[in-house]
């Protein structure tokens, strides 16, 4: 999932990243394709995301009224996060600057009968509309853009006061290099070689600093793969994949 664009001007994108993800766009939803392991990862990640939304907006033991929630998924790719949340009743906007991925997401939502609004645009363009959302999601995007701080600042500005910001990425550690790049790309071939650049991985404390004092960190958890069962699980360790949830002060 990548916030990317072929637009000219001062855009926060990488042409190399655009080309790579455009070529793989039709594989987003293929359970036997190149994103097979990513689909398994997404199921576990969605559980964490939904739990944070329900903890933040629910009342007591009652889940929130999803139909009252506005959500924007920044770098929505093929819609792996946008579509399931829209299926719960939320008003979801998925943005991605890959027009190819946007069309794939639209076709899948139409086939599934789920109402999602997908737009070919950057987060900077979303900010310019002046619209804010109850939930802003940026999942596995920040490690693919040149100006990471700018992207996080834009995400933060899109959150309504009292809203929720959910960020997911990869930590910049030796362990993440061994597992997420050497293991996942070169050995197990879970992802195409070159999907990630370890130098662009982000430490949790860096994300928190970029988000700033307008927000409070509510929750963070790591994700790990059980290679024997092929299942993704949450873990207290943030050393490889991790997710953070922030609430914006009123």
Each domain of the chain, given as residue ranges in start order, spans: 15-248
Q: What fold is seen in the domain 15-248?
A: Rossmann fold (3.40.50)
pLDDT category at 17 given cuts 50, 70, 90 is low
Closest to 154 (Cα-Cα) out of 134, 135, 128 = 128
Q: What is the pLDDT of residue 7?
A: 43
* 20-24: long-range contacts, CB 8 A cutoff, minimum separation 24: 20/192, 20/194, 20/195, 21/77, 21/98, 21/101, 22/98, 22/100, 22/101, 24/192
Q: pLDDT-derived band of residue 37, with 50, 70 and 90 as boundaries? A: confident
- Checking if the pLDDT of 114 tops 70, the result is yes
Residue 113 labeled ligand binder: no
What is the rounded distance in angstroms from the CA atom of residue 114 to the CA atom of residue 123?
Answer: 23
What's the average model confidence in pLDDT over 29-54? 89
45 labelled binding-site residue:
yes
| Structural element, H or E, at residue 53 | helix 36-57
Is 224 annotated in a binding site? The answer is no
Instruction: List the structure tokens of 157.
Output: 């500005």
User: Measured in whole angstroms, how far is the alpha carbon of residue 47 from the centre of its chain?
Assistant: 13
- How confident is the model at residue 184, as a pLDDT? 85
pLDDT given for residue 4 in this prediction: 42
Is residue 221 classed as helix, strand or coil in its secondary structure?
strand
Query: 184-225, pLDDT tens digit by residue?
Result: 888 888 787 878 899 999 999 999 999 999 999 999 999 999
- Is 60 annotated in a binding site? The answer is no
pLDDT of residue 14: 66
């Amino acid at each position: 999932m990548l916030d990317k664009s072929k637009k000219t001007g001062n855009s926060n994108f990488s042409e190399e990243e655009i080309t790579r993800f455009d070529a793989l766009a039709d594989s987003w939803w293929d359970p036997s394709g190149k994103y097979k392991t990513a689909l398994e990862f997404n199921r576990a990640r969605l559980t964490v995301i939904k739990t944070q939304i329900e903890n933040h907006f629910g009342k007591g033991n009652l889940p929130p009224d999803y139909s009252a929630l506005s959500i924007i998924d920044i770098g929505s790719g093929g819609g792996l996060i946008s579509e399931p949340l829209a299926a719960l009743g939320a008003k979801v906007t998925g943005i991605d600057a890959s027009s190819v991925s946007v069309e794939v997401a639209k076709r899948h939502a139409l086939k599934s009968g789920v109402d999602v609004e997908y737009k070919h645009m950057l987060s900077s363009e979303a900010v310019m509309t002046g619209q804010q959302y109850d939930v802003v999601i940026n999942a596995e995007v920040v490690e693919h853009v040149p100006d990471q701080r700018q992207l996080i600042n834009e995400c933060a500005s899109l959150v309504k006061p009292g809203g929720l910001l959910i960020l997911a990425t990869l930590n910049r550690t030796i362990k993440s290099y061994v597992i997420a790049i050497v293991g996942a790309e070169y050995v197990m071939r879970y992802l195409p070689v070159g999907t990630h650049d370890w130098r662009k991985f982000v430490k949790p404390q860096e994300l928190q600093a970029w988000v700033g004092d307008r927000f409070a960190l509510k929750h963070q958890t790591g994700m790990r793969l059980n290679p024997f069962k092929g299942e993704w699980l949450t873990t207290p360790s943030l050393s490889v994949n991790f997710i953070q949830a922030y609430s914006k002060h009123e």
